Amino acid sequence: MSPNSPRPVLVSIPHASSAVPEEVAGMIALTAEELMGYTDLYTDEIFDIDNVYKVKSNFSRVIVDPNRAPDDISKEYELAAEGVTVHTTWDGKNVYKVEPSPEIVDKLIKNYHNPYHDALEQHIPKVQFLIDCHSFLPFGPKLKKDSGKERPDINLGNVNFSSCTREHTVFFRDFFEEKGFSVAINFPYTGKYILGHHCHRRRIPPFLVPGIQIEINQGLY
C-alpha cells in the first residue's frame, strides 16, 4: 500500500440524504421538513473520515432503503414500517399521495438500492473492516419495539455477533465509554441488510469483511 492509499476501512452512510428520486417526485405526501426528519441527520458530517473508502447515499431512505433487502416488500414488512420501500413511516404518516406501482418500486430498487450495494462490493476486496454509520432518535418512535423508551448514547450492532467478533465489538465499546458515552450492544438495533449481506466475523475474500453498525443518539447534537 502506498503512503497515499486509503486505509483498509469502508465507511457506509446510507441514510444521510432526504432527496426524493425523480421517479416518485410528484407522488410524495411528506413535506421537505418531514423528509429531513427521517434522515440520520449529520451522519455524512460526523462520519466524514479522512483517507478511508466511503459510500454515501444521495436519496431518502423513506423512498428506498439501502439497509433493507431488495425483496423486503411484503405487507408484513409494510405494517411494521420496514422494508426496502414503505408506504407508512415509523410514526404513522403516509409517505405517498398515491402508492407507487410495482413497476415503479422495481425501478427504485434497480436505480438506487442496487447501485449502493454495487459500490460497497467494489471496495470490499480492498478493505479489512466495514463501518455502517447511522443516528437514531433519543426515544423509541411509535412503531418500534422500544417505543417511548430512552435510548443510549451509542448503539453498536453486530447482528448478534455474526458480523464481527467480540474483540471488535469491545474495541468500539471501550472507545466510546472512555469518552463518557453510554453504550448498548445490539439494542435497539442489531444491524440490518448492509451488515447481513456484506459482513462476516471472519474476512472471506472477496465478498465478506467484518463490520459493525454504529448508531449515534441525535440527542447528543
Domains of the chain in start order, with CATH, are 7-212 (3.40.630.40)
Compute the distance between CA of residue 15 and CA of residue 140 in angstroms, rounded to an integer.
18
pLDDT confidence of residue 79:
54
| Whole-number average pLDDT of the chain | 93
Nearest CA-CA partner of 33 in 45, 18, 13: 18
Whether the per-residue pLDDT at 2 is higher than 60: the answer is: no
Per-residue pLDDT averaged across 104-122, rounded?
98
- The reported pTM is 0.93
Nearest CA-CA partner of 217 in 192, 185, 193, 182: 182
pLDDT confidence of residue 156:
99
Model confidence pLDDT, tens digit, residues 165-187: 999 999 999 999 999 999 999 99
pLDDT confidence of residue 90:
83
Nearest CA-CA partner of 211 in 43, 53, 23: 53
Whether the per-residue pLDDT at 46 is higher than 60: the answer is: yes
Whether the per-residue pLDDT at 82 is higher than 80: the answer is: no
Per-residue pLDDT averaged across 144-152, rounded?
89
Q: Where are the alpha helices (DSSP H) in 86-189?
A: 102-108, 114-123, 166-177
Confidence of residue 145 (pLDDT cuts 50, 70, 90): confident
